[in-house]
Each structure stands twice: as structure tokens, then as C-alpha cells.
Amino acid sequence: MLLDRHGRSARYLRVSVTDRCNFQCSYCRQPDRERPLSHERILRYEEILRVVGIAVAAGIGKVRVTGGEPFMRKDCDAFLVMLRKRFPELTLAVTSNGSLLAPHIPLLRALGVSSVNLSLDAFDRELFARITGRDEAPKVLAALEGLLRAGLRVKINAVALRGVTDSQLDDFIHAAMTMPVDVRFIELMPLGGQTGEELFWPIGEVRAAVESRVRLIPVPEAPAGAIPGPARMFALKKGQGRIGFIAAASDHACGRCNRLRLTSDGALRTCLFSGREYRLAGLLRHKPGLPDERIARVLNRACLDRPLGETLLKSGAAPPRGKRPMNALGG
């Protein structure tokens, strides 16, 4: 087990296959400061598979493939096939902005992907284009319909932005009432992007606004053996879906955090609020014949020193906004 000094075990690995994204969401990216990683710096798929194998042997049971936008990377489908073939028992999930997703849905179903996280901050076409910089709402909504027709579990992730999300609440609630989806409101994190603090909408206020419109019914915690996420989920009376809240900054879930992140350039991140990275790329590429056991020791050491993000935030030790934008971290 990958245990830390706070008694937490890491069971979930988020794998970024690219830092590139075709959207320009203001809370995520900094176009004026960005320099996409060169092809040479990006981990090869075989290198990612090696890290995943070491992590699985150490107790990781779930891998989520993300980006940037993962389907912007060439041969992402082939990578997903290799991942499933090598680790058939692994819980495999994907995060996407949905704009390039439609052609890949049959494969995701065939591979038994457990869930697809769909980043969707607005249903209104004009507002969607303003947030993302792209007029792609019809494509994303078509992908959402395609995922549901294929029987795939969908989680709609919406970053809570004051003056934006509040105008869309009725649409999000309607989606949760009429579709078997999890709608999850995520508090704006003090990392990456250019979004001003005036747009920060505390998750407690978001929940209160939702509860003024619909009754929320608490659902039980994840069943034994499941790998829980950070969202506090609620069912809706006579609703097909659920609504959840992720308090990333105001009411932390750090005490039950179970995840690690592998960036597309081969850095292991144990906490989003810590700037510390463990450079696995050098071990994979510049140490010929280095046994997996050596890399496993680095993984174990990194997990042992995994900090509590809320402590870093309260002490002011968290890296400043924009140190590494979210599209480069894998979300």
C-alpha cells in the first residue's frame, strides 16, 4: 500500500497524456504565458504504461486518463487499448472536454471504461463560447447524448464561477433530473488560469442556491472496496441523476485524499497544493536498465511525504496561482 504519514493510502492515479487543449478556459489556462511541451518532453506511451504497472503493483486500483484534452494526442485510442490489455482488472476512467469525444465512444464502451468526466461549465451556447473560447457546445452536448446512449456513466464537472454558474443552475438541475448523470460543482482552486478572485463562489453558497430550487437527499458513502472521490453526492427526488459538490478550497477533502498525478512530462505530483514534484522521466529515460524496484521506492517515498493540502493553503505555502496551470497538471 502507498501510505503517507497521515494514514492515507493512495489508490487512484490520474495520468495526463498531454498538456495541450483546444479550449482556452480562463480558470485553467494562461495563453499568454503558455509554451506547450515539445514532443521530446512528453512521456512515451510505453513509459506511462511502465509507471502505471509499478503503481498498480504498489496498490493503485484506478487510473483516469486526462490532459489537457487527451484526445488531442495522436493514438490515444491505442494507448487506452494497451492500458486495458495490460491491466484488465484496473478501474479505467477518462476525462474530456467532449469536443473531440464522439468518435471514441464505441471504444470507451468496448474497453469497459467505468466513467467519463465531461467538463461542461454552461449549457447556453453563447456563455459556453465565452468561457472556453470555442463555439463547441453543440458538439459537447452531442457527445453527452452519445455517452448516455452507449450506457456509459457520465459525470458532468462544472467549475463554480460567480456570475456564470448561478445563471446556469436551472439547466444543471434539469440535467440531473432528466438524465442519469452526476452533476458536480467544483470550487475554483487557487491554481492556474487567469480567473479573478471576484468569480470565486464558495461551494457552501452554491449548495444553498441549489437547495433553494430542489431538495437534496444525501446518499451513502462509497461501498466497501470502492475508490471514493472528493464529491459529496446527493440524490434528487424523482430525479434520474445526482448532484455533488467538491469544496476544493473552502472545505477540504484532504483528509480522505487517495490520489496521485502523473503529468505528461513525467512528474509525479502528490498534492495539487504543493509545488513539489518527483521527476520520474529522468529515471525512466536516463538510467538504462534501472529496475522497477528503484522507481517503486521513489513512489513509496513520495507518498510517505504526501502533505495535507489544506495545511499548505492555511500557511501560505501553496504555490502561487499560475505556477503550473491546471491543463499542465492533469486536473
Query: What average pLDDT does range 82-111 have in this prediction?
Result: 98
Spatial separation of the C-alpha atoms in residues 147 and 151, rounded to whole Å: 6
- Whether 27 and 274 have beta carbons less than 8 Å apart is answered as no
- Whether 331 and 14 have beta carbons less than 8 Å apart is answered as yes
Q: What is the percentage of the chain residues whose pLDDT exceeds 90?
A: 73
Is pLDDT at 317 greater than 90 in this prediction?
A: no
Interhelix angle 292-304/45-57, rounded to 10 degrees, is 70
Q: What is the pLDDT of residue 215?
A: 96
Q: Which of 7-11, 28-32, 160-164 has the weakest average pLDDT?
A: 28-32
Q: What is the pLDDT of residue 191?
A: 60
* Residue type at position 55: A
Q: What is the pLDDT of residue 195?
A: 59
Q: What is the pLDDT of residue 286?
A: 80
Q: Which three three-digit cell numbers place residue 71?
A: 484526445
Q: What is the pLDDT of residue 330?
A: 72
pTM over 0.85: yes
The per-residue pLDDT of the chain, averaged, comes to 90
Is pLDDT at 181 greater than 80 in this prediction?
A: yes
Q: Which of 80-89, 110-119, 279-288 has the weakest average pLDDT?
A: 279-288
Q: What is the pLDDT of residue 131?
A: 93
The domain limits of the chain are 2-329
How far the first Cα of the chain sits from its last, in Å, is 24
Q: What is the pLDDT of residue 193?
A: 54
Query: What average pLDDT does range 137-157 have in this prediction?
Result: 98
Q: Which of 26-30, 31-35, 219-223, 268-272 has the weakest average pLDDT?
A: 31-35
Question: Is the previous residue joined to 53 through a cis bond, with omega within 30 degrees of 0?
Answer: no
Spatial separation of the C-alpha atoms in residues 228 and 211, rounded to whole Å: 24
Spatial separation of the C-alpha atoms in residues 180 and 176, rounded to whole Å: 7
Residues forming beta bridges with residue 331, ordered by sequence position: none
CATH code reported for the domain at 2-329? 3.20.20.70
Q: What is the pLDDT of residue 279?
A: 94
Spatial separation of the C-alpha atoms in residues 258 and 126, rounded to whole Å: 37
Q: What is the percentage of the chain residues whose pLDDT exceeds 70?
A: 90
Query: What average pLDDT does range 215-237 have in this prediction?
Result: 85
Q: Any idea which residue has 461501498 for its cell?
A: 223
Model confidence at 316, pLDDT cuts 50, 70, 90, reads low
Model confidence at 89, pLDDT cuts 50, 70, 90, reads very high
Model confidence at 226, pLDDT cuts 50, 70, 90, reads confident
Q: Which three three-digit cell numbers place residue 174?
A: 434539469
Does 121 or 309 have the greater pLDDT score? Answer: 121
Cβ density class 113-130: b for 16+ within 10 Å, e for less: bbbbbbbbbbbeeebbee
Strands 181-187 and 216-218: unpaired
Query: What average pLDDT does range 44-58 have in this prediction?
Result: 97
Q: Which of 21, 15, 134 is nearest to 65 (CA)?
A: 15
Q: What is the pLDDT of residue 123?
A: 97
